[in-house]
Amino acid sequence: MSADLLYFIIPCYNEEEVLPETAKRLKKKTTELIQSGKISKESRICFVNDGSGDSTWEIISKLHDSDPVFSGINLSRNRGHQNALLAGLMTVKDFCDLTISMDADLQDDIGVCDQMIDKYHEGKDIVYGVRSTRKRDSRFKKTTAQGFYKMMNRMGAETVYNHADYRLMSRRALNALSEFEEVNLFLRGMVPLIGFPADIVYYERAERFAGASKYPLKKMISFAVDGVTSFSTRPLDMIARTGGFLFLAGAAALIVELIRCAAGRAVPGWIFATLSVWAVGGLILLAVGIVGVYTGKTYMESKKRPRYIVERFLDQDHGFVS
Ligand code: UDP
Ligand code: MG
C-alpha cells in the first residue's frame, strides 16, 4: 500500500513576519513524516493567501519556485479565516488523502501531527487538536475564549471544547464537508456535524511567533454571534419565552391595578410605569434585532454567492490559473 498523500492547509493574512519560519518548520516536519513512511513523498504544504496587503503572496510564490513541496492559493480578496481555510481544503480535496489545517503563526504545536496521522491510520476521519491549557494566552483572551465555548454549547452550537481549527480531515470527511453549502461559515460547528469517526489529540498552545493577532475583540464577538446564529435558533426561542413571561407579568399587574381602581384608590406608580416602558421597549428592540440577524443570514444564504474566489493556484502537479 502506498503511503497517504497529505496537504497542510495554512490560511495567511498579512503573515510576512512569520511565514519564512512557519515554512521552515513545516518543511522539516513534512520531511520527517515522509521519511518515517507515514505520508507519501508527494505530500505538500499549501499556504492560502487571504488577500494580504503585505508581501505574503510574494513569499509564498518564492517558496513554491524554490521547492515543489510548497504550494499556494491566492484568493481574489480578503474573505476571512474561515473562508480562506475552506478555500484551501476544497481546492486540494480531490488529489489528497488527508489534510491538516493550522494557523500560520505557529501557535499550534506541529509536534502532534504524528499523533494525528497515527489516529488517521487507526481509521479516524477527523482528528481535533485540542489545547490542553492556555497558560500562555493573556488572561483576557483566556476568559473570553472559555466563555465563548461555554456560551456556544449552551446556545446549541456543539463545538469541541478548546479546539480551534487545527485539525486533520480525511478525504472522505472533506467530501462530506463540501456538501455543506452555507455561506455563513463556522467550521468548528460544521465539522462535528459530519459524524464520521473522530478523535482528539492534546497540545499546548504557544504564543504567536511574530506579528499581531488578526482577531481583535470586535472580530471575536462577531465570530461568536455568527457561530450561534448559524447553528441554532435558541436565541429566538429565548426571546419568545421572555416575551411570554413579560406579557403574563404585565397582564397580572394590570389586573391588580384595575382592582385597586375599582376600590377607589388612586394609582401612584407613574415612575414604575415609565420605567417599564423603557425596559420593555429595550427588550423589544433587542428581540427585533436578533430576529433581524437571522433574517439577514437567510438573505445572505439565499444569494448563494461564492464563499471565495481562487485567483491563482500554484502547485507542481495540479496547479491551474483561474
Ligand atoms: N487569517 C486569515 N484571514 C483573516 C484573518 C486571519 O486567513 O482575515 C488567518 C491568520 O493569518 C492566521 C489564522 O487565520 O493564520 C488565525 O489568525 P490569528 O492568529 O490572527 O488569530 P488568533 O490566533 O489571534 O485567534
Ligand atoms: Mg493565532
Three-class secondary structure of residue 297 per DSSP = helix
Statement: residue 1 has pLDDT above 60: no
CA distances from 310 to 14, 72, 170, 194 (A): 17, 10, 22, 25
Q: Which residue has the higher pLDDT, 261 or 104?
A: 104
Ligand 1 center from residue 13 Cα (angstroms): 6
Which atom number of ligand 1 is nearest to the Cα of residue 103?
15
**DSSP 8-state assignment for residue 39:** B
Interatomic CA distance for residues 17 and 146, integer angstroms: 28
Interatomic CA distance for residues 230 and 194, integer angstroms: 16
Mean pLDDT of 289-297: 88
pLDDT for 11 equals: 98
Q: Which three cell numbers stand for residue 279?
A: 425596559
CB 205 within 8 Å of CB 162: no
Ligand 1 center from residue 177 Cα (angstroms): 21
Q: Which three cell numbers stand for residue 128?
A: 481535533
Q: Which of 14, 8, 56 is nearest to 33 (CA)?
A: 8
313 pLDDT band, cuts 50/70/90, is very high
- β-strand 44-49 against 6-12: which pairing, if any? parallel
pLDDT for 251 equals: 80
Q: Which residue, judged by its Cα, is nearest atom 19 of ligand 1? A: 213
Three-class secondary structure of residue 6 per DSSP = strand
pLDDT for 93 equals: 95
Write the pLDDT tens digit of every residue in 243-291.
888 888 888 877 887 888 788 776 666 656 766 777 788 788 888 888 8
Which atom number of ligand 1 is nearest to the Cα of residue 12?
11
Which atom number of ligand 1 is nearest to the Cα of residue 214?
20
Interatomic CA distance for residues 167 and 190, integer angstroms: 13
Q: What are phi and psi of 122, to 5 degrees?
A: -80, 0
pLDDT for 240 equals: 84
Interatomic CA distance for residues 47 and 103, integer angstroms: 10
Mean pLDDT of 159-176: 94
**DSSP 8-state assignment for residue 2:** P
Three-class secondary structure of residue 232 per DSSP = coil
Interatomic CA distance for residues 297 and 226, integer angstroms: 9
Q: Please tell me which of 9-13, 107-111, 233-237, 250-254 the model is most confident about, judged by mean pLDDT.
A: 9-13
Q: Which residue, judged by its Cα, is nearest atom 2 of ligand 1? A: 81
**DSSP 8-state assignment for residue 320:** B
Q: Which residue has the higher pLDDT, 180 or 161?
A: 180
- Domain ranges in the chain? 6-231+306-321, 234-303
Q: Which residue has the higher pLDDT, 287 or 122?
A: 122
Fold of the 6-231+306-321 domain: Spore Coat Polysaccharide Biosynthesis Protein SpsA; Chain A (3.90.550)
Ligand 1 center from residue 245 Cα (angstroms): 42
Q: Which of 103, 167, 218 to mutate to test the pocket of ligand 1 (most atoms within 8 A of CB)?
A: 103
Q: Which of 95, 24, 25, 83 is nearest to 49 (CA)?
A: 83
Mean pLDDT of 223-245: 83
- Which residues does a 6 A CB cutoff place in the pocket of ligand 1? 11-13, 15, 50, 78, 80-81, 84, 103-105, 107, 208, 213-215
CA distances from 287 to 157, 249, 273 (A): 20, 18, 21
Statement: residue 48 has pLDDT above 90: yes
